[in-house]
Structure 1
Amino acid sequence: MPTVQAHDLRCAGRVVARYVCDPQLPATVSPRPYLHPVTTLAGTTVTGFMPADHRHHLGASIAVPALNEANFWGGRTYLTGRGPTALDNHGRQQHDRWLHRSGDRLEQELTWTRRDGTPLARERRALTVRGLTDDAWLLQVDYTLRSATGDDLTIDSPAARGRTGAGYGGFFWRAPTGPDQIRAFGQRTDADVHGSRAPWVVLSGDAWTLIFLAGSPAADPWFVRADDYAGVCAAIAWDRPLLIAAGEVFARRLRVVIADGPPTRATIAAAEAWT
């Protein structure tokens, strides 16, 4: 049976996200399944795909800068003492099979492979869509990682290698590039949310709002950009490597509220009910 290339997710009778499960992309972007376009219920696109400033940003996806030295983020690899370096080490997240597929839920198994196709990790991923309010819906992302070889897995970030503040890696959402005035804040609007462990983070444009809700079993620090570009990541290797021991299963859950219009107290209250 041929591989299904993409699947639409629906809420309130309309398509709100396209999940591309087996993309045909250059090796330098670390090919991986992604969500794009993702839209509000009114149809405003809230993901950015391969923008000029970062060609390896693929809508909303699970991506890490280094897993056992293989790059699953795309672009250059940050090396201690050398900085960003172009290497031929880009991995691929390969779709293996569907476990469930419907209009509001997808569940699949994937293999993370090195550039040469050697398996490194096995993943189980689920995407679930729920209606929230008349102008907002919720996406839940669950994923688990375990070794495919019986060896330990080590996930690194540039921050873990000495680049302070660059602790990205995990579920990453790239917002669209455009003329919007972008805002990012948490419970305290006067505090820098980048690097915080706030229970939720708001990223908003002129006509849309995204509310990222802290995951489980523990709240990871937030990697947040709102100036040079707009994006949010629940960072799993913020300032030190993440070790997944052989035989261990690493699990995360994250929820995102996608809403029309600027952030309102009602939308934030509806989101808080899910924390």
Structure 2
Amino acid sequence: MHDPNTLVQTVPLMLGGRTVAEYVWRPHVPNTLSPRPFLHPVRTLAGTAVTEAMPPDHLHHLGVSLAVPDAGGANFWGGRTYVHGKGSLPLPNHGVQRHHRWETRTDTVLAHELHWIGPDRTMLLRERRRIAARPLDHRAWALDFRYSLHNLTPEPLDISSPGAKGRTGAGYGGFFWRAPGGESDTTVLGPGLTGIEHLHGSTAPWLAFRNSGPTPWTLVLINRQAERDPWFVRGADYLGAGPALAWTAPLTAAPGEGPRRRIITVVADGDLGPRAIEDLVDAVAASPAPREA
């Protein structure tokens, strides 16, 4: 879909004739939000939205996206930049992730190449991203998100975070899901764990949000890496989570190299209990990845 008034371009992900997510692959947002492709709204099979984009508390939170606070000195997260000893400052250092070309574009699989461009228009990173919608059962589907980043500069490039710069517990950056709701109506749990205090900074294989609102839903974020990144989790001021690339130290990418990650998120109707969540995690492990057409 192309809206000539806003320049926004989106493409749907569909399962069984239903649109389960909209991928905004060419966004039109202020530069201070670090423009980047994002998924919003993502919906359950019954149609309940489980993402938020540009909420008043954090305008730079864009549904489901890949964002890092610092890559080679450029802010690809949006908003203020943390400076050690000075706090979070508004700096003119925002980068942009720009669509370059499609590799696959079907109802269930979207794959494309992106370029990460710094504020001085230097191309810092090339990314290959693959997003797929996978059916699970009558109440749930899975969003399969894979990416690989490649340093395009001639020198090692640091991917960093406020946590890596001394701000305790703020090692965010990477795949990030901003969800609606908050701590009052949402339970956060992992395998044998309940509560943000037990999961924030952990390397649990999965993390779940259970929302008990008027139209209950459950999200289960599954980290598919053998060596898992720590979870960044928030629930009090807002609801969001993602595995962090630079929790307490920068991730350094040599020229031509960079991180590769895969996160699968189960999107389910209903406030599901631990056993039902474990069953869905097992179902994801057993289900085949969708074929690229």
TM range, smaller chain: over 0.9
Matched, 1:119 2:158: no
Structure 2 CA distance, aligned partners of 1:48 and 1:134? 24
| Alignment match, 1:197 | 203
| Same amino acid, percent of matched pairs | 49
Write the deviation string for residues 111-153 of structure 1: whole angstroms up to 9, x where unpaired: 0001232211100000011001110000111100011223222
Write the deviation string for residues 218-249 of structure 1: whole angstroms up to 9, x where unpaired: 21110011121100111011111000111224
The TM-score, its normalising length taken from structure 1, stands at 0.95
Structure 2 CA distance, aligned partners of 1:64 and 1:215? 19
| Alignment match, 2:288 | none
Give the CA deviation at 1:56. Answer: 0.3
Q: Using a 3 Å threshold, how does the CA distance of structure 1 residues 162 and 42 change in structure 2: closer, same or farther?
A: same
Q: Is the 8 A contact 1:76 1:86 kept in 2?
A: yes
Letter in 2 for 1:224: V
Segments of structure 1 that go 5 or more residues without pairing to the other structure are none
Give secondary structure in 2 for the equivalent of 1:72. Answer: coil
Give the CA deviation at 1:267. Answer: 3.7
Give the CA deviation at 1:157. Answer: 0.6
Structure 1 CA distance, aligned partners of 2:94 and 2:169? 23
Judge which range, 136-145 or 240-249, deviates more: 240-249
Structure 2 CA distance, aligned partners of 1:30 and 1:217? 30
Give the CA deviation at 1:4. Answer: 8.4
| Alignment match, 1:8 | 12
| Alignment match, 1:130 | 134
Matched, 1:247 2:256: yes
What are the residue-to-residue correspondences of 1:22-33 with 2, within 5 Å? 22-33=26-37
Q: Using a 3 Å threshold, how does the CA distance of structure 1 residues 248 and 179 change in structure 2: closer, same or farther?
A: closer
Structure 2 CA distance, aligned partners of 1:190 and 1:18? 31
Q: Over aligned residue pairs, what C-alpha RMSD do you find?
A: 1.7
Judge which range, 62-71 or 208-217, deviates more: 208-217
Between Structure 1 and Structure 2, how many residues are aligned? 274
Matched, 1:227 2:236: yes
Structure 2 CA distance, aligned partners of 1:261 and 1:185? 15
Structure 2 CA distance, aligned partners of 1:112 and 1:228? 29
Q: Is the 8 A contact 2:93 2:118 kept in 1?
A: yes
What are the residue-to-residue correspondences of 1:1-275 with 2, within 5 Å? 5-177=9-181, 181-190=185-194, 192-206=198-212, 207-264=216-273, 265-275=275-285
The TM-score, its normalising length taken from structure 2, stands at 0.89
